């Protein structure tokens, strides 16, 4: 029996283990049953529904790779990818909240945090604490190591001064991983990572950005005005923050790839349904070969992007080199998401340009994929460097 196009776009051909398949299906059911009815309201309010965030904790989506003894699900990066893809097919805003929590915050502490930091924060991050990752600054985007936030040691304390921008989860986060330079004379080798809790003296969350897409996801300014924290809150070693940032962003790019294939999948599924319903010249537009070929091309590119993202995740899970594959997956999946969502809008015609139908949101949500966790040009730069090593 031939599967319908809708099922084909929702069920990747890549073989998953029984555990992975059950996990994916659980997230898909949650996305359809609990998330989908709230998407329009969250988009209108430009805020995530707190009940959904609580549900993400409840079903284990906020601590996927955290070991069981620390309260997590003891899963893999591929399982994080599956969760982000499934959520993004319905709502990319909730998906990026889950993605940042797992790939940038939990993953960073698992790889670089001291035993004390892991014991202190990971059980909370799996249970009820939202995390955020604060690297970017007003004058430090693609040139991340040009950051100007300053860290000064005072006995058993650190004081941080500076301003961070574009911080995902900024409104909801109870803790932040913040990068600051402890010794500007050493350039990027002075950069150090710190854990800062909301409520620490000198920390405040500033402006929330009014964005084109992923509108329910909070993107905020973070202000550090002599923010004081204990010396034990250093992640890794002083001056090794650049290594922490690079390796964490490599993983983060795989998560963004998952978000983009989910967005593209949601848009393509909506288009596949619509072309069977929309009649022109006395026929459903699905019967026109020009439409069929565009859909076939979109489905092919989406499947290729999915395989690249899954492959990068499996490489990291196996402990193999994955930097170039992560950059390729992020680059290509974001390009595919732009093309597929644009096609979906066009196939819906005038209706596609209205908020009454879902594809205009997928189209807007896709654009961020070419920007955060490194722009497309930065991915090309990474790929070129890896090729020429």
Residues that are catalytic: 373
Q: Among 164, 169, 165, 175, which Cα is nearest to 117's? A: 175
Q: How buried is residue 89: exposed, middle or buried, by Cβ count under 10 Å (0-12/13-18/19+)?
A: buried
In three-state secondary structure terms, 154 is strand
DSSP class of residue 315 equals H
Which residue in the block uniquely carries the two structure tokens 């961070």?
164
Report the alpha-carbon distance of residue 285 to residue 301 in Å, rounded. Answer: 21
Residue 24 Cα distances to 95, 109, 127, 283, angstroms: 14, 25, 20, 37
Tokens (6 digits) for 265? 């999948």
- Find all residues with CB under 8 Å of 335, minimum gap 6, and list them: 370, 376
Tokens (6 digits) for 316? 């990291």
Q: Are 284 and 347 in contact (CB under 8 A)?
A: no
């Amino acid at each position: 029996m031939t599967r319908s196009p809708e099922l084909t776009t929702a069920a990747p051909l890549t073989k998953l283990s029984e555990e992975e398949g059950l996990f994916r299906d659980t997230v898909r059911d949650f996305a359809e049953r609990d998330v989908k009815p709230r998407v329009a309201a969250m988009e209108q309010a430009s805020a995530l529904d707190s009940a959904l965030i609580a549900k993400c904790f409840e079903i284990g989506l906020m601590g996927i790779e955290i070991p069981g003894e620390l309260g997590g699900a003891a899963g893999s990066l591929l399982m994080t990818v599956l969760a982000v893809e499934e959520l993004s097919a319905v709502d990319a805003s909730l998906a990026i909240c889950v993605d940042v929590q797992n790939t940038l915050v939990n993953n960073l502490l698992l790889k670089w945090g001291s035993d004390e930091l892991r014991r202190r924060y990971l059980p909370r991050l799996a249970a009820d604490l939202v995390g955020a990752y604060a690297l970017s600054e007003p004058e430090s985007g693609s040139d991340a190591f040009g950051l100007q936030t300053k860290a000064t040691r005072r006995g058993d304390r650190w004081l941080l001064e500076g301003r961070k921008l574009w911080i995902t989860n900024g409104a909801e986060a109870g803790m932040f991983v913040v990068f600051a330079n402890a010794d500007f004379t050493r350039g990027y080798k002075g950069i150090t990572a710190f854990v800062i809790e909301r409520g620490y003296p000198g920390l405040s969350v500033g402006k929330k950005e009014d964005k084109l897409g992923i509108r329910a996801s909070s993107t905020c300014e973070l202000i550090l005005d002599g923010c004081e924290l204990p010396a034990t809150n250093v992640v890794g070693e002083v001056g090794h923050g650049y290594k922490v940032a690079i390796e964490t962003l490599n993983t983060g790019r795989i998560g963004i790839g998952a978000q983009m294939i989910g967005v593209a999948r949601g848009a393509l599924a909506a288009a596949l349904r619509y072309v069977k319903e929309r009649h022109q010249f006395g026929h459903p537009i699905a019967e026109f070969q020009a439409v069929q070929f565009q859909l076939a091309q979109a489905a092919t590119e989406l499947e290729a992007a999915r395989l690249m993202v899954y492959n990068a995740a499996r490489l990291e899970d196996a402990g193999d080199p994955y930097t170039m594959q992560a950059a390729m997956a992020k680059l290509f999946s974001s390009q595919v998401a732009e093309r597929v969502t644009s096609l979906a809008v066009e196939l819906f015609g005038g209706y596609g340009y209205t908020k009454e139908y879902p594809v205009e949101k997928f189209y807007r949500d896709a654009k961020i994929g070419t920007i955060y966790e490194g722009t497309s040009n930065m991915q090309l730069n990474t790929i070129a460097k890896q090729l020429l090593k």
